[in-house]
Amino acid sequence: MKPNFTFSLALFFVGAIIVSLNFNFDKKEISVYAQAPERTLLVKYGEEIFRRENCIECHTLNVKNESEKRISLDGYRGTRSASFIAGLMISPKSFLPGSTMPSFAKLEYNNLNKETLKRISNNSSSHPYNLDTAWDKLNKQADQIQNEINNDGIFEHKKSELTALVAFLQFIPPSTEQIKLNTIENERLQKLADEINELYLNAETKILEIAQDKKNISRGKELFQNQCSVCHGTNGQGEIGPNLLDEHTFHGNEISDLLEVTINGTDKGMPAFKQVFSPEQIGQVIAYLISERGNEYPNAKAPQGKKQ
């Protein structure tokens, strides 16, 4: 994917106008982040850019509450790769289609500088301080991110203020409230997963019956063509995914094997369908697969796995 930068200049001016309108940085906004002890020089440098560019016009680092219109970056750490973030800052629309965020492409033209480093270090460090050593450290940290982005090969990244901003965004830890919200969300998802597993466990016999009943073939064919054919071909003869009609399989060709793989998926690219289909629909789709077994199609994929 090559990002399209052509419109970034126009958006840059939009951004510049917005930034010049509002320059009040509320100290409270960085409370979550400021409590984290292990900030590197580059992260602190990036905070400086975040402040200066007035990103909090549209973003908050605090947990999002109902009265808050701005987008929360609380706990943004670990959610996106360095190249995604750098690309987003340069060309938001290329990385988030339909994005309304202005471009900050200009940051890639601003070199990191010792003056800024001196200022942030004076503000935050109590121990004796050597600017040259700190400068080397800062540059090593920036080189690391620059290499990481360039190794992804999506676009060429120049070490700059943008690099520092990426480091900052990749650092923002979750607040206690955000951790609580994440825990609640994880519990909700776990409960949902448990319910679905139970649903399938209770329906085991019924699914087997449906899968063996020829009446269900035509309904299963429809489901197969909507959900499975992208990967397994129109009739199951194989595409990206393996041929499901021949005698070779990775996971076995008993009905129970087909059900297990379709319900729970595998770690090699076969998605789980228990959240997509009802137990009845799983049975229907397998009824269709069984009916197609042994059929040969001219464009069939070569056998894979073990002969049964």
Question: Which residues sit at the interface with ligand HEC, rule CB under 6 A?
Answer: 18, 50, 53, 55, 57-59, 71, 73, 76, 80, 88, 92, 96, 99-102, 104, 165, 169, 227-228, 230-232, 240-242, 244, 249-251, 258, 261-262, 266, 268-271, 273, 285, 305
DSSP alpha helix (H) spans, 153-203 = 161-169, 176-202
User: Which three-class secondary structure state does DSSP give residue 301?
Assistant: coil
The helix or strand, by DSSP H or E, that contains position 56, with its residue range, turns out to be none
Closer residue to ligand HEC, CB minimum distance, 125 or 266: 266
Least spacing, CB of residue 85 vs ligand HEC, in Å: 6
**Structure-token pair, residue 220:** 């299963």
| Polymer length of the chain | 308
Distance CA 78, CA 98 (A): 23
Pick the closer one to ligand HEC by CB: 135 or 305.
Answer: 305
Q: How far is the CB of 49 from ligand HEC (least distance, A)?
A: 7
| Contact by Cβ (8 Å): 63, 176 | no
Q: Which is nearer to ligand HEC, 129 or 250 (CB)?
A: 250
In the complex, the smallest distance separating the C-beta of residue 131 from ligand HEC, rounded to whole angstroms, is 26
> Among 178, 6, 162, which residue's Cα sits nearest to residue 84?
162
Q: Shortest approach of ligand HEC to residue 108 CB, angstroms? A: 12
Cβ closest to ligand HEC, residue 135 vs residue 297:
297
Comparing CB distances to ligand HEC, the nearer of 122 and 295 is 295
Output the smallest distance, CB 11 to ligand HEC, in A.
Answer: 10
DSSP labels, 214-242: GGGHHHHHHHHHHHTHHHH-TTSS-SSSP
Q: How far is the CB of 133 from ligand HEC (least distance, A)?
A: 28
How far is Cα 55 from Cα 112, in angstroms, rounded to an integer?
Answer: 19
In the bound state with ligand HEC, the residue whose beta carbon lies nearer, of 174 and 271, is 271
